[in-house]
Amino acid sequence: MGSTEGGCGCLEVILSHPTLSFIFLLTAVAAVRRYIRDSHKVDGFRDKHVFITGCDTGFGNLLARQLDGKGFQVIAACLTEKGATNLRAETSPRLKTVLLNVTDSESIRKAVEFVRGEVKERGLWGLVNNAGRATPIGPTDWMDLEDFTKVLDVNLIGLIDVTLQFIPLLKKARGRVVNVASILGRLNLVGGGYCPSKWGVEAFSDSLRKDMSHFGVKVSIIEPGFFKTAVTSVDVINADMRRLWTRLPQNIKNSYGVTYLDDYMKVQDFSMGILCSADLSKVTRCMEHALTARFPRTRYGAGWDAKLFWIPLSYLPSFVADFVVNTLLPSPQEAKNK
């Protein structure tokens, strides 16, 4: 009884204050409007082709199975034959697979030709740029240029190349482009090519959205938080950090201190254990909505950490985000000495 009265009291306070009442009303109207817009779906799934990159594992693999189950004509691009074989075994005969290396323009061209033969005059309804990699990551002065390009070539340049080559088929269908960025496309937490690549995906997608709006092609950005995929495997990330540490000049090792690498990996293991969600459907549901909604959103935050922590943090002054990140990570020995 007390909680009910307390709730009514709060509502009375809001309604008795003109400014609060106006804000409350606007928020309620916006929420209802968004719900109504989100609920409108396109039809004819069985006549719509969707091409997805990075389908060996993770988000791409789950999305391919998810859309296949809803009747879409899915064309799943895998990096390996093993990945393609395993996916075909788990889906209907309707789903097709192609081998694709997004860093190879000729490989992309062959995929486009295959897709053109499948879609014919209908064009391509959906392109989901999901393929990506994270490593190498770590302090910036542990890197060389090749470490950056390894990641940028997959996450950004490859994504751009795939998109450019598929644009004619997308324009024919007045379809959708769904680009997988990250909360690290809003907020830099680690050094290396991953954050720059995802910031680049955000910028490219914004330009593409404006340019393609004239042709009826809609562009959405997915911004996942931390999820348990091959990209966030701590074993892979830690092994690569050891590789980076091993090749460092002694003076840089000295500036960080002998315990820095172990301290960094302990923090990373602990953080990933807390933050990483195993429910990949939180991301694939956003992807599906971007492909099926009559009014897809421009951006989709996916995961509790993205919505409640990282995205709000990205709107705060840089010194606040810097303080949070520096609090989480160990300090180099040289900084402690000073």
- Residues noted as catalytic: 194
Q: Cβ(237)–Cβ(226) under 8 Å?
A: no
* DSSP category for residue 153: I
- CA 51, chain centre distance (Å): 16
Show Cβ contacts of residue 246 under 8 Å, excluding neighbours closer than 6 positions.
none
Question: What are the residues facing 51 on neighbouring strands?
Answer: 75, 127
- Cα(210)–Cα(325) distance, integer angstroms: 33
| CA angle (155 as vertex; 101, 286 as ends), nearest 5 | 105
Q: Which of helix, strand or coil describes residue 42?
A: coil
Q: Which amino acid is at 41?
A: K
Distance, CA of 259 to CA of 253 (rounded, Å): 10
For residue 332, give both structure tokens.
């180099």
- Residue type at position 147: D
C-beta separation of 151 from 135 below 8 A: yes
Please name the residues in contact with 59: beta carbons below 8 A apart, sequence gap of 6 or more.
130, 180, 224, 227, 229, 280, 283, 284, 287
Q: For residue 277, give both structure tokens.
A: 């969600």
Please state, as a whole number, how many other Cβ atoms lie within 10 Å of the Cβ of residue 251: 7
Contacts of 334 (CB under 8 A, 6+ apart): 254, 255, 256, 257
How far is 73 from 338, CA to CA, in rounded Å?
A: 61
Q: Say if CB 10 and CB 20 are below 8 A apart.
A: no
- Under a CB-based contact definition with an 8 Å cutoff, are residues 196 and 149 in contact? no
